[in-house]
Amino acid sequence: MQNYYLSIINEIRGDYMFKYIIKRLGISLATILVLITVVFILVRLMPGDPFTSDKMTPEIKANIEKYYGFDKPLIIQYFTYLKNIARGDFGYSIKYVNQSVNKIIFDSFPYSFDLGVRALSISISLGLVFGIIAALYRGKALDYGCVIIAIIGTSVPDFIIGALLQYFFGIKWGLLPVAQYQGIKYTILPSIALGFYTLAMVSRIMRASMLEVVQQDYIKTAKSKGISKFRITYKHQVRNAIMPVVTVLGPTVAAVLTGTFVIESIYAIPGMGKYYVQSVQNLDYSLVLGMTVFYGVFLVLANMIVDILYGIIDPRIRIAGK
């Protein structure tokens, strides 16, 4: 009989989870469609003409516009672009001759992704540790030190952090290279600069969440039962305090994994940031649109995955959002 009731409960949980995933998937697809539409319109409204040149005759310009489909009405261009995206085709770059946007993204994204993974590994792990330490030693020197790091990380722009790291560790002390991306030692400074804000944010959220959890009745009950401080901290405080951190990881992970234009420029990393900045300067509609949509889809999918994981971790979320 007990097994029978357990099977019914599992079926209900599975049904709730399935509905929750389908709902999140539908919201994500609708968001992506809206994103593509808005970005398509905004790119077409960019001032300037990518085909303006002193040597370009009206006949050559007309042929180029026909080749890229710019001679057709805007609504036709929009639906053509939707059809191409559905096939995974972002088109060809206007400025990079005979290079598809897919190839440019395929070649540059691994650099941004690799840098992002390293930055996330450093920032999330250290951020959690600093937040836990600050909460456990509230009002003491360790707490003040962690709080100062969090304040610096959230208030100082990443390009200033990056420049300072270059100056002290690269130029003044000569410990690490200041540019390029040719080995592990080349990744240390840009990874720290890119992940420093995330480290500070995770540390601040974890500290506040830990201080809130420690006031809960189940923590007092665990203490009254004589459970060790380590077990209370790990099993009860950390596991419950980490939930708010999970909620912010979606957009954070997407932003870090796709890199930042400034950090990649400072450290001369051939990632997506380099091509994105150049595409805007060159009015390369195809490349601007392709990279923006790629980043947006990446962000939406990251948020969707975090929402699903959050529903798995906390059943109240998926039941409330069914």
| Within a domain: 100 | no
Residue 4 lies in a domain: no
User: Does residue 149 sit in the same domain as residue 203?
Assistant: yes
Tell me: do 310 and 265 sit in the same domain: no
The CATH number of the domain holding residue 256 is 1.10.3720.10
- The verdict on residue 189 lying in a domain is yes
162-221: pLDDT as tens digits: 999 999 999 999 999 988 888 889 989 999 999 999 999 999 999 999 988 888 787 778
**Dihedral (CA of 260, 263, 264, 266) sign:** positive
Do 31 and 157 lie in one domain? The reply is: no
Is the pTM here over 0.85, yes or no?
no
8 Å CB contact between 51 and 61: yes
Domain match, 238 and 131 both: yes
Q: Are residues 65 and 129 in the same domain?
A: no
Q: Please indicate, yes or no, whether residues 51 and 171 belong to a single structural domain of this protein.
A: no
Q: Could you tell me if 316 and 309 are in contact, meaning their C-beta atoms sit under 8 angstroms apart?
A: no
Count of domains for the chain: 2
Is residue 187 within 8 A of residue 115, CB to CB? The reply is: yes
In this predicted structure, what is the pLDDT of residue 9?
Answer: 46
φ, ψ of residue 100 in degrees (nearest 5): -80, 155
229 in the same domain as 142? yes
Side chain identity, residue 211: L
What residue numbers bound the domain in which 128 lies? 115-271
Q: Are residues 45 and 150 in the same domain?
A: no
The per-residue pLDDT for 3 is 54
Same domain, 231 and 133: yes
- In the chain, which residues have pLDDT < 50? 1, 4-6, 8-9, 11-12, 319
**pLDDT for position 14:** 55
Cα 297 from Cα 36, distance rounded (Å): 9
* pLDDT tens profile 243-270: 788 777 767 777 776 657 788 888 988 8
Q: How far apart are CA 41 and CA 293, in angstroms?
A: 12
